[in-house]
Amino acid sequence: MGFLSNSILLAGSMQKLGATDYVDFTFFVGCMAMMAASAFFFLSMSSFDKKWRTSILVSGLITFIAAVHYWYMRDYFGAFDESPTFFRYVDWVLTVPLMCVEFYLILKVAGATKSLMWRLIVLSVIMLVTGYWGEAVAPGQAALWGFISGAAYFVIVYDIWLGKAKQLAVAAGGHVLKAHKILCWFVLVGWAIYPLGYMAGTGAGQWYAFVGDLGLNMDIIYNIGDAINKIGFGLVVYSLAVSSSEA
């Protein structure tokens, strides 16, 4: 009850937003952008064949879950002036596995099995849980937990770029292969921001100092990266559904 009460108080609080409050600004814009993306995906579901509706639904769920968490994260940051690590990882542990599910959904046309889906889900959960453990629970063992988290991430990268998922995408060809390649780039480049953030949170201040010297804040980078990755994932799937329906 205490946690719920605090959350309600945070959600109802209002902070004055200054002209240079870039962290608050990106929290607010990220929340609004992902809320708008959710409405767009949900309302567009009826425009597609049944086989694509689940993919569009998952895209909407990803951005909706993120929007809710960003609502709380902005208030948390405003109240305590510290990075909302707990809320971020709760968001990621829900949305990142759903992003992995998108690979399975678009590759079903080529015979993707649920074993591939669960493999990617399990790897993503390992990546996130060990990352949270190293960053928030046992920072003294950050290198160990970061290694495990990074290993899970690179196995995901291998599976989608060179492994079974890539083979299925090549077999499907056409629009599916094109969409798969774009999603792979999101994982390789877009998701790279998260290990950088892990380094920032566990690097004995050295990486934080470097980021600070650049005039940046890791929350700003996270917020922008989250919005691009999650909304971008959904737009790629939406584009694939449109192209396939037209074909």
CB 176 within 8 A of CB 107: yes
**Domains located in the chain, CATH noted:** 2-246 (1.20.1070.10)
Q: Read off the pLDDT of residues 84-100 as tens digits, 9 standing for 90 and up.
A: 989 999 999 999 999 99
Categorize the per-residue pLDDT at 143 as very low, low, confident or very high, splitting at 50, 70 and 90.
confident
> Which pTM was predicted?
0.87
Q: Which long-range contacts (CB under 8 A, 24 or more apart) does 159-162 make?
A: 159/116, 159/119, 159/120, 159/123, 160/103, 160/120, 160/184, 160/187, 161/188
CB 117 within 8 A of CB 108: no
Q: At residue 163, does pLDDT exceed 80?
A: yes
Q: Read off the pLDDT of residues 44-77 as tens digits, 9 standing for 90 and up.
A: 998 888 889 999 999 999 999 999 999 999 989 8
Instruction: Give whole-number Cα distances, 204 to 1, 86, 96, in Å.
Output: 35, 19, 27
Which tokens sit at 121? 């889900």
- DSSP SS3 for 189: coil
Per-residue burial over 200-214, b if 16 or more Cβ lie within 10 Å, else e, is: bbbbeeebbeebeee
Greater model confidence, 246 or 59? 59
